[in-house]
Amino acid sequence: SAVISQKPSRDICQRGTSLTIQCQVDSQVTMMFWYRQQPGQSLTLIATANQGSEATYESGFVIDKFPISRPNLTFSTLTVSNMSPEDSSIYLCSVADRGSVETQYFGPGTRLLVL
């Protein structure tokens, strides 16, 4: 299994600002994902972070709002841009090995509150 850390663990931000969330893995992994989980809801996949290329976004999520970087096989960032209160949520990253996407390991999440 992989150990995943996220920074920050939580933050309170003003609307119109941006926040970058970091995800660090203790080993090299081929696949990294970013999810959003709103209070009391299930997880929604935002995008797949691809190493060396642009992220693959799910329907309803766009790069301008959620730019993602993945400079190497152990690190990724998700930026929540021009935030509004509707962006208040928990943001989670997860990792998996290619060919085993059904077995994912999740980070602890970042709790974001936008005022």
Provide the pairing of β-strand 68-72 with 56-57: unpaired
Alpha carbon distance 77, 93 (integer Å): 9
Q: Which of 19, 21, 30 is nearest to 91 (CA)?
A: 21
| Distance in Å, CB of 64 to another protein, minimum | 21
Binding site for another protein (CB under 8 A): 1, 4, 31, 33, 35, 42-45, 48, 58, 92, 94, 98-109, 111
- Smaller CB separation from another protein, 14 or 52: 52
Task: Work out how close the CB of 42 gets to another protein at its nearest, in angstroms, rounded to a whole number.
Answer: 5
In the complex, minimum distance from the CB of residue 16 to another protein, in angstroms, rounded to a whole number:
27
User: Minimum CB separation from another protein for residue 102, in Å?
Assistant: 4
Residue (16 or 35) nearer to another protein, CB: 35
CB of 17 or CB of 49, closer to another protein: 49
Nearest to 31 by CA among 88, 102, 83, 96: 96
- Report DSSP letters for 89-100, one per residue: EEEEEEEE-TT-
